[in-house]
Homo-oligomer: A and B are copies of this chain.
Amino acid sequence: MDIAILAHEQFPGRAKTAVGILRYGDHDVVAVLDRDTAGDRVHDHLPDVQDAPIVESMADVPDCDVLVVGIAPIGGGFEDSWRPDVRTALERGCDVWAGLHYMLADDAEFAALADEHGCELRDVRRPPDDLTVAEGTAGDVDAQVVLTVGTDCSTGKMTTSYELRDAARERGLDAAVVPTGQTGIMISGWGISIDRTIADFAAGAVERLVHEAADHDVLFVEGQGSLGHPAYSGVTLAILHGSQPDSLVMTHVAGRETHHSYEDYPLPPVREYADLYEQVAEPVRETSVDAGMLNTQGMDESAAREAIEEYAGDLGVPATDPVRFDVEETLDAVL
């Protein structure tokens, strides 16, 4: 399938979904839409992912099947400056996928255009309508369940899950990611956007995903948010208790000291944070932080290696940057 990815003014640094699809997805990306970097190519910014031209608007995109909205502002709203591109895509007969809180299918103009041109509006955040409360049974599955947790939002939980999946597959294991957010759902083609479920059913939704994937050897459950986050901690805990993991991987961004967009809230020291995850997990299922992942983007290699060594020392477990360096030792630690 040929797809275009909308990432205006945020590519690549703040376009997590766009970059995730370029790195781990199975689709052919024919263009990235970003009016700030139009004229460049993806490889000018990210040499190690699928390449594609970066263009100004949908008018410059070659034939494709789907336009994916590959960015999301805080709060998950739809920016009106994206409207002309979505409109053009629908008029050209492209499906449009988005992972926003704002539902494209509920937008009267988009719904009418999609209907007129026979396209699908796919809001991947919309959860199934038959969710229920958790029964506390995820721990019963035979698969090894590894959950990525973190010190904050956007610390690399999804990336870590896919990198560990790929390394486990290299070893011949039947490994899968359990996607709990919109990007993972777009990459893997299944999953539930846990933050969008009814709060009472959030743990139950994760439990259901673990059961659905239970016939794999190892599951890398994509965590969300962080346990000490002023806004998202409830979702984090629902995933921790709903998935009943055998092992936790602690993700962190080198140098980050406060919660992103919540600068009044400092991050606890990483080992303290790891202890907190283990302590809160325990009433439901005992588990431990067995590996660490550090996002060292922007550091030179020796600084990155030094930062990782310090992070591993603080946590007392093996650590790596799963994008820059290999994950073998950390994979050993969680299997």
Footprint of B on A, CB under 8 Å?
Answer: 74-76, 101, 132-136, 194-200, 202-204, 227-238, 241-242, 262, 264-268, 273, 276, 279-280, 282-284
The CA of A200 and the CA of B197, in the complex, are separated in Å by 8
Does B230 contact A237, Cβ atoms closer than 8 Å? no
B-side contacts of A200, CB under 8 Å: 76, 101, 195-196, 231-232, 235
B-side contacts of A268, CB under 8 Å: 282-283
The CA of A241 and the CA of B232, in the complex, are separated in Å by 9
When A and B form their complex, which 6 residue pairs have the shortest distance between CB atoms, in order from nearest?
A: A228-B283, A234-B238, A136-B230, A195-B200, A134-B231, A234-B234
Copies in the complex: 2
Output the least CB separation between A275 and chain B (Å).
8
B-side contacts of A134, CB under 8 Å: 230-231
Does A233 contact B238, Cβ atoms closer than 8 Å? yes
Does B284 contact A234, Cβ atoms closer than 8 Å? no
Q: Tell me if A's interface is mostly helix, strand, loop or mixed.
A: mixed
Output the least CB separation between A101 and chain B (Å).
7
Task: Provide 30 A-B residue pairs closer than 8 Å at the C-beta atoms, listed in order of the A residue.
Answer: A74-B133, A75-B133, A101-B198, A133-B232, A134-B231, A135-B231, A136-B230, A136-B262, A136-B264, A136-B265, A196-B200, A198-B198, A199-B202, A199-B234, A199-B238, A200-B232, A200-B235, A203-B231, A203-B233, A204-B231, A227-B283, A228-B282, A228-B284, A231-B242, A233-B237, A233-B238, A233-B280, A266-B283, A276-B283, A279-B279
B-side contacts of A280, CB under 8 Å: 227-228, 233, 276, 280
Does B203 contact A234, Cβ atoms closer than 8 Å? yes
Known: A135-B231, A234-B234, A284-B228. Is A199-B194 also a contact (CB below 8 A)? yes
The CA of A233 and the CA of B237, in the complex, are separated in Å by 7
Known: A133-B75, A196-B199, A198-B196. Is A233-B228 also a contact (CB below 8 A)? no
Output the least CB separation between A203 and chain B (Å).
5
Output the least CB separation between A47 and chain B (Å).
34
Output the least CB separation between A280 and chain B (Å).
6
Chain B residue with Cβ nearest A238: B234
B-side contacts of A232, CB under 8 Å: 133, 200, 203
B-side contacts of A266, CB under 8 Å: 283
Does B195 contact A199, Cβ atoms closer than 8 Å? yes
Output the least CB separation between A211 and chain B (Å).
14
Does B199 contact A233, Cβ atoms closer than 8 Å? no
